Chains A and B, each alone.
Chain A
Amino acid sequence: MLLSYLPILIMIGFATAMALGALFASFLMRPRNPYREKLSPWECGMEPVGDATGGHFRVHFFIIAILFVIFDVETLFLFPWAVLLTDKSISLFIFAEMIIFVAILALGLIYAWAKGALEWV
């Protein structure tokens, strides 16, 4: 059973090796010639103050984050449901059950939409 995950492991290992390898190769091959101007973030304008993670972040994104989380959880519930759908004796019942579940969440999405929570200006 675990063998079926081997391709995933190989893929992850391969991807990690590629990424690290690319970084390492560029580290070996790049010309090294730092000077002050090149190290400053912009070559014109003012010196930067602070970093980008500082507060200027609209709280509006929170609704998007919550929407993502909620539908993420919903998707998760679909996995065991999808596996079970092949079982003919209960498939109709659980299908209806999931429709109710999704419908209630869809109502939430409609609510957010109608309230203008998804508008951006």
Chain B
Amino acid sequence: MNLLRLLPEFIMLGTAFLLLVLELFLPRGSRKGYAVIGILGIAAAAISLPYQDFGPALAELFLQDQLSIYFKWLFCISGVLILYIVMLYEDTVKNWRGEFYSLILFALSGMMMLASASDFVGFYVSLEFVAVCLYVLAAYLTESRVTSEAGLKYLVTGALASGFLIYGISFIYGATGATGFAEVAKALQTVEPTGYLVLGIVLTVLGLTFKISSIPFHVWAPDVYQGAPTPVTALLAAASKSAGFVVILRVLFGALGTVKGEWVAFIAVISGITLLFGNLAAMPQKDLKRLIAYAGIGSAGYLLMGVAAASEMGAGAIMYYLLTYIFGIAGTFISIVVFYNSEGTDKIESYAGLYKRAPLLAFSLFIGLLSIAGFPPLGGFIAKFYIFMAAVKEGLWVLAFIGAMMAIIAMYYFLLVIKSMYLRQPANEAPIQVDMMTRGLLYFVNAVTILLGIYPGPVTDWVMSIAQGVF
């Protein structure tokens, strides 16, 4: 047993517990200091990441490898950005309670465990841990009926999906007699795939579609994205989706990679339907958070296209996509929160003429949304390009064609938003104040998104080398 391999998780959990205990003693008031403590905690966890050695811990149920380290980086990055968003968001809520910060840290530490889980039992329990944190966060503002409804919808769908997942896992266990990912893969080399295995795979995949908000468990996404507190929406969009995909990579590529003939077609169908649904349903949306929810369903379709490719290149493309997605989401959501703090609305029409009032916010939304849509030369374009390449290489022409069509539609609905921000006249000319810290962060996030698009080399090399070990 090598407990040092759990150091990042311990640091995150320790910070979360610290904030929880602090909340018991501090009088009411601003909790922005928590965000600083939380960011410091995440930074400490991130600093320990490069010093991690690879190998198992805790009776081989916890595995530190390149894949888990990469995803832990993603969670650390999104954690810092989201805690900053919470800090901005805190001002708009009366009687803010500090548990929010510690719940976010708990959720992030759970995602880190998820990235390292190398066993169906450990992975399921970690997934539930993350899910319970997110249920509470989604329903956090108990006075707001919209938020309560969002939390309830998230909980009910999540419970159903989790039932599918555990049922599928039990079938896989029945078919192979093992729960560890490596043992399952080993057992499948000798055992013929049986009906139980196929049933298990189908149910497991269906259960996992909840986390990544793809068909058929996508129904929660629009209402929850719109209704949940904005930082939680960002957390769901960025970190929770990454957590879902690290699990998919581990389960489908790692454990079930030897029987990929059984699931590739199934994933391809899900991916195609998700792409069509997400992007077509996004077009008539009036609320920006809701629009991003549908676009997020579409993104899940692209990412699943990488899964359907079932190759090292597909895995690498997924990892790169998630990185660009996190930065796109961060830039967008920081702008949304700042805009909301000033205007009190998320309606798309109220964004009209934003360029005249706050050029930086308009520019960040421009970069963030277009990166999510996959516009060249931004980061999202390179990611989509790799996904398409992986899909075409494996002969998924139809899927790639649907994806390309939908990318055009995605650009259409995002460009409508951007057009109204840049070309229309604002109803109210008053400029929106953005403080120095936020400005700096927005510049940084936008710069990263652009840099990931024009100079992807180092990151893609890294990602592709990690992807070699996924199968």
Direct contact of A and B (CB under 8 A): yes
Contact A114 B24 (CB under 8 A): yes
B164–chain A nearest beta-carbon distance, Å: 22
Measured CA separation A107–B106 after assembly (Å): 15
* Cβ–Cβ contact A111 & B17, under 8 A: no
Give Cα A44–Cα B463 distance, bound, in whole angstroms: 80
| Cα–Cα distance between A107 and B17 once the two chains are bound (Å) | 9
Cβ distance A36 to chain B, nearest Cβ, rounded Å:
46
B404 near A: Cβ within 8 Å?
no
B264 at interface (Cβ–Cβ under 8 A)? no
Would you call A115 an interface residue if the criterion is a C-beta within 8 Å of the partner chain's C-beta atoms? yes
- Chain A residue, CB-CB nearest to B20: A111
Report the Cα distance A115→B17, complex, angstroms.
15
CB distance from A113 to the nearest CB of B (A): 10
Q: Using a CB-CB cutoff of 8 Å, which residues 1-56 of chain B contact chain A?
A: 17, 20, 24
Chain B residues lying within 8 Å of A114, measured Cβ to Cβ, are 24
**Contacts of B383-438 to chain A: CB distance below 8 A:** none
A111 to B20, CA, bound (A): 8
Number of interface residues of A (CB under 8 A): 4
Q: Nearest chain-B residue to A107 (Cβ)? A: B17
- In the assembled complex, the Cα of A111 lies from the Cα of B103 at a distance in Å of 14
Q: Which of A74-121 contact B (CB under 8 A)?
A: 107, 111, 114-115
A selection of 6 A-B contacts at a CB cut-off of 8 Å is A107-B17, A107-B20, A111-B20, A111-B24, A114-B24, A115-B24
Residue of A nearest to B13 (CB): A104
Contacts of B24 in A (CB 8 A): 111, 114-115
Specify which chain B residues have a CB less than 8 angstroms from the CB of A107 in the assembled complex: 17, 20
The smallest C-beta distance from B263 to any residue of chain A, in angstroms, reads 34
Contacts of A111 in B (CB 8 A): 20, 24
Q: B441-457 vs A: 1/0 string, CB under 8 Å?
A: 00000000000000000
Residue of B nearest to A104 (CB): B17
Q: How far is the CB of B429 from chain A (nearest CB, A)?
A: 46
* A63 CB → nearest B CB, Å: 13
Min distance, Cβ A60 to any Cβ of chain B, angstroms = 13
Which 6 A-B residue pairings sit nearest by Cβ, starting from the closest?
A114-B24, A111-B20, A111-B24, A115-B24, A107-B17, A107-B20
List of A residues within 8 angstroms of B20 by Cβ: 107, 111
Encoded as 1 (CB less than 8 Å from any B CB) or 0, chain A from 37 to 59 comes to: 00000000000000000000000
Q: How many angstroms from the CA of A115 to the CA of B24 in the assembled complex?
A: 7
Q: Which residue of B lies closest to A110 (CB)?
A: B24
Distance (Å) between the CB of B365 and the closest chain A CB?
39
Q: How many angstroms between the C-alpha atoms of A111 and B24 in the bound complex?
A: 7
Q: Which residues of the other chain, B, contact A115 by a CB distance below 8 angstroms?
A: 24
Q: Please, how many angstroms separate the alpha-carbon atoms of A107 and B13 in the complex?
A: 13
- A86 CB, min distance to chain B CBs, angstroms: 21
B23, chain A: closest CB distance, angstroms: 9
- When C-beta atoms are compared, the residue in chain B nearest to A115 turns out to be B24
Tell me, rounded to whole Å, the shortest Cβ–Cβ distance linking A9 to chain B: 30
Minimal beta-carbon separation of B375 from chain A (angstroms): 47
Bound Cα distance A74, B109 (Å): 22
In the bound assembly, the distance between CA atoms of A114 and B20 in angstroms comes to: 11
How far is it, in angstroms, between the C-alpha of A107 and the C-alpha of B21 when the chains are bound?
Answer: 9
Bound: A55/B398 CA distance, A: 55
CA distance A107 to B23 in the complex (A): 13
- Per-residue CB contact flags for chain B residues 185-208 toward chain A (1 = under 8 Å, else 0) read 000000000000000000000000
**Bound form: Cα–Cα A111–B16 in Å:** 13
A76 CB → nearest B CB, Å: 15
> In the assembly, what is the distance between CA of A114 and CA of B17, in Å?
15
Rounded to whole angstroms, the CA-CA distance of A115 and B20 in the bound complex is 11
Identity of the chain A residue whose Cβ is nearest the Cβ of B1 in the assembled complex: A93
CA distance A62 to B176 in the complex (A): 41
Shortest Cβ distance from A113 into B: residue: B24
Q: How far is the CA of A86 from the CA of B362 in the complex (A)?
A: 67
- Rounded to whole angstroms, the CA-CA distance of A111 and B17 in the bound complex is 11
Contacts of B17 in A (CB 8 A): 107
Q: Which residue of A lies closest to B97 (CB)?
A: A115
State how many angstroms separate the Cβ of A101 from the closest Cβ of chain B. 13
A55 smallest CB distance to B (angstroms): 17
- Bound form: Cα–Cα A107–B24 in Å: 12
Once the chains are docked, how many angstroms separate the CA of A73 from the CA of B20?
23
Cα-based distance from A111 to B99 in the complex (angstroms): 11
